[in-house]
Structure 1
C-alpha cells in the first residue's frame, strides 16, 4: 500500500479565487453569501446565493469559452492553480499513470438550462452547437484530460452533495493501490441559473433571506435556521 499525499490546491470559491484568498477570508469571518442581481431574480422567492466573482473571459479565449460551461471553467482554472501549487509539470510524467476524478451534482446545469430556455421558452429550434459538450456531467474531467494529455482513468462521480468527497476518496484509493502515481481530484459546481434554483426552491430547502444581513442567511446551527443556500465553485 502506497502513501497518499496532497501536494497542491486550487480553489475557485465565493470567498476568493485562490486557496490563499479563500483561507484568509474564512479566517476573517467573511461570508460568501450575497444578493443576486441577475435578470431572472424577480422570479425567485429567495434571491441569495454564494456566487463567485469570476469572468471566464479573463482565462479563456472566445472560441474556447463557447465549449465550456461555467462549471468546467471553474475546474480548469482550479487545476492550473493546483498544479502550480504542487510545482508539478505533467509533461515530465507518465500520462497513463495520471488520472482525473471529479465530483459534480448537476454538471453543466447552466448550459442545460440555457438550451431548454431556447427550446421551450423562446420556441426556437436553434440551440448552441456545443450544447452536449457544455452540459454533460463529465465535461470538466474530460477537458482536463484533453488539456494535459492525461490517458489514465478519468471518471466523474455524481452522488449529490457527497460527489466531490467520493471523487477524492476514490482517487486516493487508486494511488494507495498502486494503480496510479498522480490523481487530479476534487469537484466543481455552477447551478446558479433560473431552472436549478427554481427546482431547489420547489423542494422547500432554501433559506429565507435574513432581513438584517443577507450574508447571515445560512445558519445551520441556529435555532432560527430556515434552510440552506446554494453556491458555486471548484476545489481541486
Structure 2
C-alpha cells in the first residue's frame, strides 16, 4: 500500500456579514461579536421575520463580474466569491489552464433554493406559464461545483455532497481523502447555502427549533449550552479551504496554515432528526484513528452546538463519553452563537475558524454563555472572550446533521517553516 500523502491547508475564503476576508471574520469571532440581526422577508401572504445571518452588503458583481452574476443563483455567487478569495489567499494563478490533478469537492444542503422559489412564485402568483430558459442550470444542485471547476480550470473530480448541515464537512473530508490517497494534488473544498428563502424560513420555524427575538435581542438570540437557549439561527454564506498535497505546497512556496490529519464519518441509523450520542462518539473516534491520534491529543473542539435543547446536551454527553475525566479540561466553543447556522456551509465556516484558531493561538468563545445548562456541564466551555496562550496543537470540528450523518474533521497546527 502506498504511503498516505500529507494534506495542507493553504488558502481560506469566506462570505459573511463581516465581509470577504476570513481573518477579519475570525477576529470578530475572537472578540465575541455576533453577526446576527433581525431579518424580514416581506412577501405574500405575510412577512416572515426571524433572527438571521444576512450578508446585506454582498455585491456579487463586484466579486465575480456582472456576466457571471447574471447567470448564477445567490448561493453560487457566494461560493465563487469565497473560492476566488481562497485561491488568491493560497497564492495560486488565475489562468484557467486545465489542471487535471486539481478538483473541487463542495457541500450544499439546499442548492439553489432562491432560484426555484422565485420561479414558483412567478408561476403561481404572477400567472407565468413558464420559467426562464436558464432555470435548470441556475437551479441544479451541483451548479456551484460546476462553476468553480470551470472558472478555476479544475479537471479532477467535481463532486457535490448533500448531507444536511454536515454537507460541507463531508465535502472537505472527501477532498482530503482524494489528496491523501494520491488521486489529486489540490482540492477546492467547502460549502455554500442561502436558507433565507421565504419557504425555508417558514419550514424551519414550523419545527420549533428556531431562536426567537426582536431587534434588540436578536444578536444574542443564539445561545448554545445556555439554559435559556431556544434554538438555532439560520444564516447565508460560503466558506472555502484550499487543500493541497504537502510537498506540492512546499515546492511552490505556499504558506501552510494547518494540516488536515483526520476525517471520520458515520450514520446514527436510529432517527431522522434526533441526535445520537454513540454515533457522534464513533465519528470523533474515527477521525482520531484516521489521524493516528488519541483523545488525549485533542486540545480544542469546535462544537456543532446549534443551541437546540436536545442537541447541545447530547453533544456534550458525547464529549464526556469519549474524553472521560479529561473532558472537564477540554476547551469547547460553539461559534454558531455568532455566525449562525449556515446549513450546508456550516462545516466549512467552522473548519475555517478551527484552522485559524490553531494558526493564531486564539480559541474563540461561545458568545452569550453567562450561565451553563447543568445538562451541558462537564467540559471547559470558553466564555467571556477568546482563550489565548494554550499552544493548541490538535482540534476537532464537529458536524452532526439531520438524517443521522456525522462528519468530524481533525486539524493539526502547522509547524513553523
CA contact (8 A) 1:59 1:77 kept: yes
CA contact (8 A) 2:96 2:151 kept: no
Of the candidates 16, 19, 29, which is equivalent to residue 13 of structure 1?
16
**Aligned partners of 2:114, 2:78: CA distance in 1, in Å?**
13
Tell whether 2:88 aligns with 1:84.
yes
Cα deviation digits, residues 68-103 of structure 1 (max 9, x gap): 111101111111111111101264976111110000
User: TM-score, normalized by length of structure 2?
Assistant: 0.54
CA contact (8 A) 1:16 1:25 kept: no
Match of 1:125 in 2: 129
Structure 2 counterpart SS, 1:122: coil
Q: How does 1:86-105 map to 2 (within 5 A)?
A: 86-89=90-93, 91=95, 95-105=99-109
**Aligned partners of 1:124, 1:205: CA distance in 2, in Å?**
35
**Aligned partners of 1:73, 1:92: CA distance in 2, in Å?**
18
Cα deviation digits, residues 139-162 of structure 1 (max 9, x gap): 010001111222110000000010
Tell whether 2:201 aligns with 1:197.
yes
CA contact (8 A) 1:12 1:234 kept: yes
Tell whether 2:157 aligns with 1:153.
yes
**Aligned partners of 1:95, 1:24: CA distance in 2, in Å?**
34
Match of 1:23 in 2: 26
How far did 1:34 drift? 0.4
Match of 1:56 in 2: 60
Match of 2:72 in 1: 68
Structure 1 counterpart SS, 2:184: coil
How far did 1:35 drift? 1.2
- CA pair 24-150 structure 1, distance change in 2 beyond 3 A: same
CA contact (8 A) 2:19 2:25 kept: yes
- CA pair 94-128 structure 1, distance change in 2 beyond 3 A: closer
RMSD after superposition: 1.9
CA contact (8 A) 1:99 1:151 kept: yes
Match of 1:39 in 2: 42
User: TM-score, normalized by length of structure 1?
Assistant: 0.93
**Aligned partners of 1:80, 1:190: CA distance in 2, in Å?**
19
**Aligned partners of 1:24, 1:40: CA distance in 2, in Å?**
35
Which of structures 1 and 2 has the bigger CA Rg? 2
Greater mean deviation of Cα atoms: 109-118 or 124-133: 124-133
How far did 1:164 drift? 0.2
**Aligned partners of 1:204, 1:125: CA distance in 2, in Å?**
36
How far did 1:17 drift? 2.0
Greater mean deviation of Cα atoms: 156-165 or 108-117: 108-117
Ranges in structure 2 where 5+ consecutive residues have no aligned partner: 241-417
**Aligned partners of 2:226, 2:166: CA distance in 1, in Å?**
23
CA contact (8 A) 1:15 1:26 kept: no
- Count of aligned positions: 235
Ranges in structure 1 where 5+ consecutive residues have no aligned partner: none
CA contact (8 A) 1:12 1:235 kept: yes
Structure 2 counterpart SS, 1:96: coil
CA contact (8 A) 2:19 2:58 kept: no
- CA pair 64-91 structure 1, distance change in 2 beyond 3 A: closer
CA contact (8 A) 1:157 1:167 kept: yes
